[in-house]
Structure 1
Amino acid sequence: MPFNAEYLFELMLGIALAMARILPCMMLVPAFCFKYLKGPLRYAVTCAVAMVPAPSIGRVLSGQHENWLMIGGLLLKEMVLGVLLGLLLYMPFWMFATVGALLDSQRGALSGGQINPSLGPDATPLGELLQEVLIMLVILSGGLSLITQLIGT
């Protein structure tokens, strides 16, 4: 099988366009656990997920003979769409963390931050617990595959 550089270029272009949508979503949605993955490993996971739709994206773009300005506009559109999808998918997790923070502030768990501001971020124990419970429920109910299908389409 001979080496085909044109197919490799189409695949790289497809990966770049797929990563433009997938990376903001994966960084915002806590179900993908990017809070714990740091550095190049985060981008390797995103690249591995982006390899699924990349061949079809590259094949469609090669048939249209688009110029670099159109591809740049398409890249910007995919990034904006990824941020909007990520914010939309993050809202239920944010709601659970906010309810936990409200309950923690009612019971006085955050009063130490008023006395000593160097305690760190305002991560509340109950908010983190409720968010982790929602992540567990999403994974156990099969919602993680639905989230990835929504991001990929």
Structure 2
Amino acid sequence: MMEYQPINHPYNSSCGYCHHDEEHYIFGEDSMSCSPTFETFNIIPSHNEQEPYRYNYLLNLMTAPDMNAYLSATSFNDDIYALPIHLQRLISEAREEILLSNSNKNYKEKSAQLRLEKVRQLVWLRSDGDFSILMNTLTELVSDEDELEDLLRI
């Protein structure tokens, strides 16, 4: 029989079912490492403090003083592709409307810009103007696709 070594276990830091501390292990049903906790069933993933924030483009967009100027001045980066497709489409449509209105003065379509502004207002309203809560609100909004889809139909 092969002896267990934590190095051979690829997920030893996040595994809740395997034992990693031989001195304090209780075998059988009394083991706490074999019973799942309620925290493992969290629907919305929590943000790890060491991990960089995944939605920097969206955060910068929502905190920019002039969202239209930000959309016209910046190009898409890899952060935009981490967003749900509905939000990607809305941001790209709003950016396209801004670029078309800058090049063609007769272009008056602003529906995507208005919808994006409503999303921004809702996010700021939910966060009550607090920047740290704003980051959590954006993460929750992006994680809950049903709510996001309903919100984007405004």
Q: Which of these two proteins has the greater Rg computed from alpha carbons?
A: 2
- Greater helix content: 1
